[in-house]
Chain A
Amino acid sequence: MGPETEKEMVMASLGGDRHAYNRLVSLHSSGVFAVCLGILRHVEDAEDAAQDAFIRGFDRLAQLRGKEQFGPWIRMIARNLCIDHLRRENRRRAAETEHQSESEPDPGPGQDHSDLEDAVMQLPEDLRIPLLVYYFDGRSSESLSKMLNISKAGVLTRLCRARKELRRLLVKKERHV
């Protein structure tokens, strides 16, 4: 019988059990991807960053302390990677062109962004990330409460604000079409 709890999975992973680590990845991949997407606002970059975060997490797993801390820890690693990525991208854009606008994220080739995605990506980060995590990670107020380290009531307040602002942005877009 394999490890059942996250703590057991961490212990098993440290012992070299890659399957146990893959299970940890499965448990947290949606949430980590949502965080990366919330910061980078680009699907492919977010996939790469999330993948890198988990690989880095495996290399550094020995530094993790405390049971059931893998989720917040891996999200912190993901966040750091995303911020590093943004800085590199900003430097690259500044070096390559003087004219490219930095006000909107570059959608990249072949990306079809709906109005909803555009509006979500325009939300301020403190609303965007919780909203994405909520919808990507099983719509659980409880897990979002743990992630944000606020009460469930606080989570609902944050989501309310996010939805209201999203509606406002969508209405604004409709009026400009």
Chain B
Amino acid sequence: MSSPCDHIKDRLPAMLDGSLEPEEQKEITRHLSHCPSCSEYERALRRDDERLITLAESMKGSVRRIEAGVGAALEESARPDPAALDENTRPDPAVLEDSIRPTSRALGRDVRSDGAASGQNVPPRPAAHEGFWRWIMTRRRSVYAVAAVIAVLVVWAAGRLPGVFKGTTPAFADVAAQIARARSVSYRQAFQVEVGESFTTRVIATEPGLLRTAMPMGDVIIRDFNSGKSLHLFPAQRRALLQRFVGAPERKLPYNYLDWLESLHKEGATFIRKDRVGDRDVNVFVNQRDPYTKTTVWADAETDLPVRIEHVAEPAPNKDLTVPEISLSEADFGGSPAYTQSISQSGPGIVKETTITKDEFQWYVAFDDSLFRLTPPEGYALERWDIDTSPDDDARLVEALTLWTGMTQGAFPETIDDLCDDEKVRPLLVAKYNGDGDPKDELKAAMAAANVLIGGLYFAQEKKLEGTWHYAGKNVRVGDADTPVCWWKAEDSDCYRVIYGDLRLADITEDDLPK
């Protein structure tokens, strides 16, 4: 426990800067008048300050030498002749105008390119259950949830793919090296989900494993990838939601957007062409993570730092895969209509067509640590929520069907997509969890159930994508032990897994499959 003197000593540097309120200054001065220890500490700080000033003065010679050295070097070098400047180097006054955002700083640049890269060395689809995380968001509109999941997908995306990096010059390894040096970045991020709504966020990321996103509705999300926690702040309601993601498999993938960017070269970021944007040269690289997900990076040819990045995720064609998503409002349980939560999960091919564009990059920005703290500001009501992020496997599907049949007096869903059909599942969850309790607690319980349903449907969608999924649960009731409800080909096996009407999971051979 800190003593009063510890507190005083903590505040003394601020007093020397003259940044304390008068009342606090008086309080500290009173304390100093009768505390020899703090008084000595204050004198020592003043001595340090004077010595630092003297040190800086003593280094003025270094500064003069720098200026003289630069002056001499410029004298010796050829003077750039304005008449000799070609198209590539002659400054364009329009370009040198402040064409970037008024609040943009340092290296913010707006880059556009219409390059259409062709995917090369498309790797095989990753194994199921590898690194797809579910994101639980609190939004007023579900498109944000979907897009936010896409953003998380980008960070937590599927595992190591055997992409081939053709080590030609320029190499993405050089870009990765610059990203590794920078270790902090801010950028603008624009989401376009299907044809329709788009929105923009501002993101800052820094090592170790910290990310902060300012959402367009005014809320803020702070993520700590090391601890697996996320703090969601709602300034308008003065509420905060601290989420802890539990049950995730041991991470084998990069855990920060910066690490993910660096690692692209290991996965196969291929240089495809040089380009020019404005008066600058850029190198363009493409990473085709899987048949449905492509990342394009435009990197400044001089600094090797990204100036624009585009992620495009497309649904698997001709598969008609529903993206699992459920939204509930606190109002459903008698609470505030302004507080809505959504869960959705996406993965390669199981996604709405989404383009995420990042630009206005600023690198090497020194952010204040307070921006990434997982404690809410004073006066905020804090809720805590553990989110199960264990892999979605067949056990999760059984759990989802068990939950569903428990809410429907034993009836299986007509189609597996019903698990997340808003018109069907929402009334069921509200009926189950709405009671006389606190709406916040009821919403939390309902969202935990929604989490299970999301996971079950996502598993089924993966099997659909593989082409082995079959569902026959319509009109089947719980307890019918001999009736197969759904089946799919088991991973790395010639067998098929079946869930029967009594919710039993079993393996059968292809010969025994229902006709």
What is A's interface to B at a CB cutoff of 8 Å? Answer: 7, 10-11, 14-16, 18, 21-22, 25-26, 29-30, 32-33, 37, 43, 46-47, 50-51, 54-55, 58, 60, 62-67, 69, 72-73, 76, 79-80, 83, 114, 116-117, 120, 126, 129-131, 135-136, 139, 141, 146, 148-151, 153-154, 156-160, 163-164, 166-167, 170
In the complex, which residues of chain B have a beta carbon less than 8 angstroms from the beta carbon of A33? Answer: 59, 62-63, 66
**Pairwise interchain contact A65-B99, C-beta atoms closer than 8 A:** yes
Selected A-B contacts with CB under 8 Å, 5 pairs = A51-B65, A76-B106, A120-B55, A146-B105, A157-B370
Q: Using a CB–CB distance below 8 Å, which chain B residues touch chain A?
A: 9-10, 13-14, 16-17, 19, 41, 44-45, 48-49, 51-53, 55-56, 59, 62-63, 65-67, 69-71, 73-75, 79-82, 89-91, 93, 95-100, 104-109, 178, 181, 278-280, 300, 302-303, 362-368, 370
Of A43, A55, A63, A167, the contact of B45 (CB 8 Å cutoff): A167
- CB-defined contacts of B49 to chain A, threshold 8 Å: 163
A25, B70: Cβ atoms closer than 8 Å: yes
B13 CB contact (under 8 Å) in A32, A63, A159: A159
User: Is B279's CB under 8 angstroms from A62's CB?
Assistant: yes
Q: Complex Cα distance A21/B65, Å?
A: 16
Bound state CA distance, A47 and B67, in angstroms? 10
Chain B residue at smallest Cβ distance from A132: B56
Q: Are A22 and B67 in contact (CB under 8 A)?
A: yes
Which residues in B have their C-beta under 8 angstroms from that of A117?
Answer: 55
Q: Are B71 and A22 in contact (CB under 8 A)?
A: yes
The CA of A120 and the CA of B55, in the complex, are separated in Å by 11
Cα A73 to Cα B44 with chains together (Å): 37
| Contact in complex: A18, B368 (CB < 8 Å) | no
Chain B contacts for A46, CB-based, 8 A: 62
Are A66 and B67 interface neighbours, CB within 8 A?
Answer: no
What distance in Å separates the Cβ of A136 from its nearest Cβ neighbour in chain B?
5
A66-B367 Cα distance, complex, nearest whole Å? 22
How far, in angstroms, from A58 to B52 measured CA to CA in the complex?
31
Residues of A close to B364: CB separation below 8 A: 76, 79
List the A side residues contacting B63 at CB < 8 Å. Answer: 29-30, 33, 136
What residues of B have a CB within 8 angstroms of the CB of A158 in the complex?
Answer: 368
**CB contact under 8 A between A136 and B59, given known A16-B79, A22-B67, A160-B17:** yes
Q: Please name all residues of chain A whose beta carbon is closer than 8 Å to the beta carbon of B96 when the two chains form the complex.
A: 7, 10-11, 14, 64-67
Whole-angstrom distance between the Cβ of B263 and the nearest chain A Cβ: 20
Tell me the nearest residue of chain B to A147, going by C-beta.
B366
Closest CB-CB distance, B370 to chain A, in whole Å? 7
The docked-state distance in angstroms from the alpha carbon of A54 to that of B104 is 23
In contact, B59 and A159 (Cβ under 8 angstroms)? no
B70 touches A135 (CB 8 A): no
Complex CA distance for A3 and B13, rounded to whole angstroms? 39
Residues of B within 8 A of A120 (CB): 52, 55
Which single member of A25, A73, A156, A170 contacts B17 (CB below 8 Å)? Answer: A156
How near does chain B come to A36, taking the closest CB pair, in angstroms? 9
| A154-B368 in contact (CB<8A) | yes
* Complex contact A116–B67 (CB within 8 A): no
Q: Identify 13 new A-B residue pairs, CB closer than 8 A, beyond the known A18-B74, A79-B364, A148-B366.
A: A11-B96, A15-B82, A15-B91, A26-B67, A33-B63, A62-B90, A63-B300, A65-B100, A66-B108, A80-B303, A149-B106, A163-B48, A167-B44
The residue that B365 contacts in the complex, of A130, A136, A149, with Cβ under 8 A, is: A149
Q: Which residues of A contact B67 (CB under 8 A)?
A: 22, 25-26, 29
Contact partners of B107 in chain A: CB under 8 A: 69, 72-73, 76
A10–B17 alpha-carbon span in the complex (Å)? 34
Are B79 and A18 closer than 8 Å at their CB atoms? Answer: yes
Chain B residue at smallest Cβ distance from A139:
B53
Q: Across the interface, do A11 and B91 meet the contact criterion of CB distance under 8 Å? A: yes
Quick check: B370 and A154 within 8 Å, CB to CB?
yes
B165 CB → nearest A CB, Å = 22
Assembled-state Cα–Cα distance A21/B67 (Å): 10
Q: Is the CB of A21 within 8 A of B74?
A: yes
Contact partner of B106 among A30, A50, A73, A166, CB < 8 A? Answer: A73
Bound: A73/B81 CA distance, A: 24
**Cα distance, A30 to B96, chains bound together (Å):** 25
Cα-based distance from A131 to B51 in the complex (angstroms): 13
Q: Is the CB of B14 within 8 A of A156?
A: yes
B213 to A: closest C-beta gap in Å: 17
Q: Distance (Å) between the CB of A141 and the closest chain B CB? A: 8
Chain A residue nearest to B281 (CB atoms) is A63
Residues of B with C-beta under 8 A to A130: 366
Q: A18-B75, A54-B70, A67-B97 are in contact. Are A167 and B48 (CB under 8 A)?
A: yes
Q: Which residue of A lies closest to B18 (CB)?
A: A156
A25 pairs with B89, CB closer than 8 A = no
Q: How far is the CB of A175 from chain B (nearest CB, A)?
A: 14
Contact B91 A65 (CB under 8 A): no
Contact A65 B95 (CB under 8 A): yes
| Smallest CB gap from B301: residue in A | A63
Contact of B55 among A30, A135, A146, A159 (CB under 8 A): A135
A51 touches B279 (CB 8 A): no
Q: Which residues of A contact B366 (CB under 8 A)?
A: 126, 129-130, 148-150
Give complex CA distance A73, B45 in Å.
33
Given A51-B69, A51-B73, A167-B41; A159-B365 close (CB under 8 Å): no
The complex places the Cα of A66 from the Cα of B104 at a distance, in Å, of 9
Give A147 to B96 CA distance when docked, in angstroms: 21
User: How far, in angstroms, from A21 to B71 measured CA to CA in the complex?
Assistant: 9
**Complex Cα gap A125–B80 (Å):** 37
Nearest CB in chain B: distance from A146 CB, A:
8
Identify the closest chain A residue to B64 (Cβ).
A29
Considering the chains assembled together, what is the distance between the CA atoms of A79 and B19 in angstroms? 30
A94 to nearest B CB, angstroms? 19
Q: Given the complex of chains A and B, what is the CA–CA distance between A15 and B48 in angstroms?
A: 45
When distances are taken between beta carbons in the complex, the residues of chain B under 8 Å from A146 are 105
Let me know if A135 and B53 touch, CB within 8 A: yes
Q: Which residues of A sit under 8 angstroms from B70, Cβ to Cβ?
A: 22, 25, 51, 54-55, 58
- Nearest-neighbour CB distance to chain B for A52, whole angstroms, equals 9
Q: Are B365 and A160 in contact (CB under 8 A)?
A: no
B109 touches A65 (CB 8 A): yes
| A contact residues around B105 at 8 Å (CB) | 69, 72, 146, 149
